[in-house]
Each structure stands twice: as structure tokens, then as C-alpha cells.
Structure 1
């Protein structure tokens, strides 16, 4: 390498190489130290108090996820800056001149704005999602738990909130890096119009599901009969409902296909229980034993009403 530089500047090649080597070693050492510090922080996690974890079940996991993403990004930026400084040390790239000129300043300004946008977006989502999860969390202080309808609506609202925040954040970030989002918005509107004509059933599913939820027709955990199917509601989304039969079969039913349904837990309580009976046992005796057990149960003060 000394021979290579001596071809261009024979008198100062040795001095240049010594200075560039010293600067390179310093840059590599500092970058390795900073990157190692970020790596050590990555190995650690935030631990919230048991009280906070009970009230906000997903907050600790979410904070650790954001912290991990931020530290990994910082480590990548450290490597990028170190590479540019190394190139500058060997005269292949004038990092400081680039940083002071319009291009460098603009790049740094864009990166700072994007970091702030992502930070406030993450903080907003964390706060709102934690408040919803706090409302959904089990309570040990005697506060009544939310109803099944409230839990279902809050879950749907949280999912919708995630989509809205993500979409707005992506649009703002694209705008910051110089992408003209006006055509994107116009294209999204045209695409949405085209999709709406081809997905009328999907729109009908969503509208029907919204009205069923507002009417408190069914909730997660309810025993329902929808058409020929009877089972327990396990999942509800904006498009469909998932019902598990006592045989174990799981059915996904679009809201638009539901014309009538029966809910067995409105005003009364129903229990679905499965009992395993040996094949060598008398089925009639087993049924009679269950009937006797139910009759005895109904005679107790708690259930006799």
C-alpha cells in the first residue's frame, strides 16, 4: 500500500499512511467500544414492577421490543459512520465536508425528523395500547371486570388503532424522505373504489359485524347456534366469527352469512361439559347418572334460585 501511495505523492506517502493508520485504529476502536456498549444493553431487559405488569400486561414486552429496535438501529448507524470516517481518513471520502454541505445536512435533518416521528408514534401506540390492555386486564383490587362485549369492542378498537397509526406513520415518513404521497393517496382512493366494487361481500361482512357488536348480540365465550352449528364463540373479528363445537371442530363464519342465531347465555347461564365414558359402560346408565347429578345440583340453594 505504501508503494501505491508513493506513486501519487512520493514525499508525503509515509507520513500520510502513518496518520491514516492511526486515525483508522482510533475510529475502529471507538466504533467497537460504542457498538459493544449497544450490544451489552441489548442483552439487558426492562423489568417492571409486579403491580405494573398486572395492570399493563404487554407493556414490559412492548418497551423491550422498542428498546431492542432502537439499539439495533443505533448500532447500524455507528457502523455506517465508522465506515465513512475510515474512507475519509484515507482520503477516499471527505466526510466532514459532506456533513457541512447541503447534502449531508439534509440527510442528517431527515434522519432526525424520521427518528422523532417514529419515537412519537411508538410512544402514542404504547400509551393507547397499554390503556386498552389495562381495561382488559384482570383486576385484583375488586374493580368489576369489563363485560364480554366491552372486551370484544376494545380488542377490535386496538387492532383498528394499530392499522391507523401504522398507516399515518408510513405516510409521514415517506413524505419526509421526499416521496410525493399525493399520488399515493389518490391511487389508494382509486384502488379502494375499485376494490369496493369487487368486495361487496367483505363490506357487508364488516357492516353486519359492527351492528351485531353494537347490539351486543354475541361475545367471546358465548354458547350460540348459528344455522346448523352450535358451539362456543372463540374469536370475533371485523369480518367473521370463530365458533368451536363440542366435538372440537372449529368453524369460521362470515358475518354476512348470519341471518339468525341463538345465544344461550343472555340472562341465564349455560355450561357445556364433555364427559368421557368407557365404551364398555352402559350408555343408558351413564346418561341417567348425569341426569341425577344435574337434578341434585339444581336442588341446591345456589342454583335453585
Structure 2
């Protein structure tokens, strides 16, 4: 009986195995199985990605279209998901080729994953919330939103966090799990509200006519306007002025810009037509000292 515990016996055993024809046949079969597994995995991934992108192309042809940003985000997310799943299955199959007990390995990984899941519940919550934010198209990159006390433009959306940049430059990084209520200002058109004050001594009817003529020309001048602005009439009467109200439908989040432009144009037009806005008046009373 040969002693394989000594160095000489161990070397002789290795040499005998290398010289054995069955050993090389077994290695060749295992290598071919691994190559075949990886080749099939790559083919499945390519077919899956092509199918995903074709589905989104068909959705774009339908009358109910989604935003391009959402389609691109979902396509990348599904591409990564199918890649990870297929490669994980392929890796398990490669391990089985080497004679490793895959079932025991998966069972052990399940126990470890369960323990990690209990210790990282907030992380799991953030990831799940991020997936539903993207899948449901609650908001997209570039949208102007308000989340709690934070408001600004969405800079980036990830599976774990969302970045919001306020108009003053601060970037707020919010865990997706903490986003429970969102106000999205970029989905529908905005409404600009402009109040114009006219002095009491001026002809109100003339002022309204002049303003209405100016409003009809504004859609050709400003692309932010969706429709012709409307003069609603007298909104209020103050101590020294009559206030006329104008509303204008604009593209999302363009109401402030449009309101400033309309105020400037109305001021110039009123001046050209000799219509005065109320001027502040100061009344001074003599200080009467008791004799």
C-alpha cells in the first residue's frame, strides 16, 4: 500500500493523476460545461435586453406615452436586474460543475442574508421605495418638487437616495424611504397671477382696453405662454388705487418669469397711453404745541 502522507507519495499521486486519461477527459468535460454555461448566459442576457428595449419601443408607439427620462431609467434598471440574476444562476451552475454542494451554499447564504436584512431594514426600505418612485414615475430628473420642508429641482434619482437642488444652490440628499409625500410642480402647466394697480383718477375702461390689446400680442412674443393671458377685471379697490387682475397659463414652473415680463410690458404700455399708476402721498400735519 502506497503512503500518500509523505511528500514523495503525494507527488507520485499527482503525477499519476496527470498521466491518467480519465482525469483529462473529466477536466475537458468540465471546461466545456463552464464555457457552455457562460455562452448560454450571455445569449439569454442579450435576448432579455433586446426584448426589454423592444417593449419600451412599442410603448412609445402607443397613444399613452411616458416621459423619455422614465423610460430610459426603467430600461437601465431592468437591464441590470436581468444581468445580475442570470449571472448569479450561471455562477451557481459553475460551482456545481466543480462538485460544490450548491443547495447547502444557498441555504447558508439565505441565513446570512436574513441576518443582514434585519440589521439593514432602513437600507432595504430605501431601495424598495426608490424602485417604486422610478416605476410609478412619481417624479423625474429635472422636475421641480417639494418634499416636506425641502423644495427644488431633482438632480439625481437612485435606488437609495434622491438629490434635490434648491434655487439658492444647496443640494439636499434624501433617503428614498423618508419620501412619503411629494408635490410635483412640473407635471401640469402653471398659472401666473398679475395684479396691476391703476390710480382712481384714470379712465378704467380705457385702461382695460389698452391692456387687453397688449395681452393678445403676448403669445407671439413669449414662448413660455400656453394661451393668451386673460384680464379678469377689477380685483379690489384700495385707498388710492383700483387693482386689475390678469392670469396667464404658462409652461410648468415658468409663471414667475412670465409674470415679471407681463408687468414690465403693461407698465410701458400704460405710460405710453398716459395712464398713471397710483403714486404714494404723504400728508404732513403741523406740530401744534400747547401754549
Q: Is the 1:221–1:233 Cα contact (8 Å) retained in structure 2? A: yes
Q: How does 1:154-173 map to 2 (within 5 A)?
A: 154-173=75-94
Cα 1:115–1:149 shift into 2, 3 Å: same
Give 1:185's match in structure 2, choosing from 106, 112, 119: 106
TM-fit CA distance, 1:112 = 0.4
- Do residues 110 (structure 1) and 33 (structure 2) align? no
Q: Is the 2:17–2:23 Cα contact (8 Å) retained in structure 1? A: no
Which of 185-194 and 174-183 deviates more? Answer: 174-183
Q: TM-score, normalised by structure 2?
A: 0.53
Q: Secondary structure, in 3 states, of the residue corresponding to 2:189?
A: coil
Q: TM-score, normalised by structure 1?
A: 0.50
- 1:150 and 1:195 map into 2 onto residues whose CA distance is 32
Query: Structure 2: 5+ residue runs without aligned partners?
Result: 1-14, 192-216, 229-291
Q: How does 1:207-222 map to 2 (within 5 A)?
A: 207-222=128-143
Which of 256-265 and 225-234 deviates more? Answer: 225-234
Query: Structure 1: 5+ residue runs without aligned partners?
Result: 1-92, 271-294
- Aligned residues: CA RMSD: 4.0
Cα 1:173–1:235 shift into 2, 3 Å: farther
- 1:199 and 1:94 map into 2 onto residues whose CA distance is 52
- 1:244 and 1:155 map into 2 onto residues whose CA distance is 24
Q: Is the 1:212–1:218 Cα contact (8 Å) retained in structure 2? A: yes
- 1:203 and 1:223 map into 2 onto residues whose CA distance is 26
Q: Secondary structure, in 3 states, of the residue corresponding to 2:174?
A: strand
Query: Which one has a bigger Cα radius of gyration?
Result: 2
1:228 is matched with 149
Higher helix share: 1
Higher strand share: 2
Q: How does 1:29-108 map to 2 (within 5 A)?
A: 98=20, 101-108=21-28
TM-fit CA distance, 1:296 = 4.8
